[in-house]
Amino acid sequence: MKEAEVENEWPERLRALLAASPIITNISIDPEPRDSGPDGEVDFLLDGKVHRLLVECKSSGQPRHVHSAVLLLGREIFRATDLTRGLFVAPFVSPSSRELLKEANIGWLDFAGNARIVFPKYHLEIERENHDPFTSKRELRSLFYPKSARVLKVLLRPPLRLWRVAELAGTADVSAGQVSNVRRALIDRGWAQAEAREGVRLTDPRALLDAWRDDGPPNARTPYRGYTLKRASESVLTAAFEEAQRDGARLLLASHSVARRLAPFARVAGDYFYADAKGLDILKRHLGLKEVDKGENVTVYAFDEAGLMDEAIEIDSTLYGTDSIQTYLDLLETGERGREAAEHWRKERIERSLEEAA
């Protein structure tokens, strides 16, 4: 939504909101912006006294837009003689932006139904939507595509620290342009902040993980589904992983097979792996796998993302598994019990590690 559209629509939306209160009368709205001033002014009577709102509109309600609006409104409020408050208007005001505005004692109004206007004898606060309905799924999902995901995983490693673009690109094995795109998207959404020259630090990992969980693209891969009568004991798996290491095959434990070893929660039958063609052959021999259409007790995902091996974590001296973030994402895709296990894993292995490293 363009800023001009926001400027055209806010007066009637705000009028309707204020008029719904029986203690507010004589509402007067001036939507014409002044030179170097706010985009509009609203006067109304409350308890017989004039109250004023100074309105600043933006095409986006992300934190970087909020900062400039807070500075402008704060300057104008300081000069005011009547009882005056500021109001930030955007298509959608994100939760992190709302916190910034609340700290600055500035209200907000967005077109998703969220609003906050506070005066000494008047308090209006409506919270209806925490996800931006005006952002396309495609736009948000692109942040979680494989190459961008490599960058996010590096940023999420504890402790959360400052990364420069070139350093981050080298660590994630992606281009500097890819990192710059991710950096801009994270800062726009208030999940990271720019520090120093071309630096970036993740500031809201929980919001990032929530969005990845809720809006990330589903895996399009078709896993190998196998059935075995042979139990995947530690000794059998150790032998398979040792052979994979000798032969240069790629093989990792995944999903519940990682979670049950490092953060057990719900017992889910079956074993999960990532493997390339050579790794799959090794598993077939060591586990006696037969491919099935349903009723599998072994699931093997293809190595369609090269970075998974570089991100692998050591489970013991022989066994390796997917990193904490990939394990979380894979657990989410294994049904209702998997989502429960994923949230337990997130709390125990991701968020706790970030807290301990802080």
The reply to whether 253 and 292 lie within a common domain is: yes
Do 8 and 87 share a domain, yes or no?
Answer: yes
Note the pLDDT of residue 220: 61
CATH number, domain of 284, equals 3.30.460
Q: Please state, in angstroms and rounded to a whole number, the distance separating the CA atoms of residues 216 and 326.
A: 12
Could you read off the pLDDT tens digit of each residue along the chain, which spans 358 residues? 677 788 889 999 999 999 999 999 999 999 876 667 899 999 999 989 999 999 999 988 888 889 999 999 999 999 888 899 999 999 999 888 999 999 999 999 999 999 999 999 999 999 998 888 877 566 677 899 989 999 999 999 999 999 999 999 999 999 999 999 999 889 888 889 887 777 899 999 998 999 999 888 877 677 999 999 998 899 999 999 999 999 999 999 999 999 999 999 978 889 999 999 999 999 999 999 999 999 999 999 998 777 889 899 999 989 999 999 999 999 999 988 999 999 999 999 999 999 887 7
| Domain CATH number, residue 71 | 3.40.1350.10
Expressed as residue numbers, the domain containing 285 is 224-357
Phi, psi of 120 (to 5 degrees): -50, -40
Task: Answer for the pair 238, 294: CB distance below 8 angstroms, yes or no.
Answer: no
Looking at the domain assignment, is residue 323 inside a domain? Answer: yes
Q: What is the pLDDT of residue 332?
A: 94
Domain boundary among 215, 236, 267: 215
- Which pLDDT belongs to residue 34? 67
Q: In total, how many domains does the chain have? A: 3
Residue 106 identity:
I
Q: Is 292 helix (H, G, I), strand (E, B) or coil?
A: coil
CA distance 207 to 211: 6
Residue that is last in its domain, among 71, 104, 126: 126
Inside any domain, residue 131:
no
pLDDT of residue 33: 67
In a domain, 174, yes or no: yes
Same domain, 13 and 96: yes
What's the rounded Cα separation, in Å, for the pair 249 and 243? 8
Structure tokens at 111: 């077109």
Same domain? 231 vs 174: no
Residue 132: inside a domain, yes or no?
no
Q: Name every residue whose Cβ is closer than 8 Å to that of residue 269 and which is 6 or more positions away in sequence.
A: 297
CATH of the domain at 173: 1.10.10.10
- Whether residues 194 and 234 share a domain: the answer is no
Sheet architecture: strand order including 224-227: 290-291, 224-227, 298-302, 271-275, 251-253, 320-321, 313-314
Residue 27 counted as domain residue? yes
Q: Is residue 304 part of a domain?
A: yes
How large is the angle between the packed helices 165-172 and 176-188, nearest 10 degrees? Answer: 110
Question: Under the phi-then-psi rule, with left for phi > 0, alpha for psi from -120 to 50, and beta for the rest, what region is 266?
Answer: beta
Which residue, of 175, 192, 215, is where some domain finishes?
215
> What pLDDT is recorded for position 214?
87
* Same domain for 109 and 19: yes
Verify that 177 and 228 share a domain, yes or no: no
Structural domain contains residue 72:
yes
Same domain, 267 and 337: yes
Same domain, 171 and 277: no
Is there a single domain that holds both residue 116 and residue 229?
no
Beta-carbon contacts of 126 under 8 Å, excluding residues fewer than 6 positions away, are: 113, 114, 115, 116
User: Could you tell me if 118 and 151 lie in one domain?
Assistant: no
Q: What's the pLDDT at 8? A: 87
Measured CA to CA, the distance from residue 93 to residue 111 in angstroms comes to 9
Q: Quick one: 145 and 89 in the same domain? A: no
Nearest residue to 318 via CA among 228, 243, 247: 243
Residue 136: the pLDDT is: 58
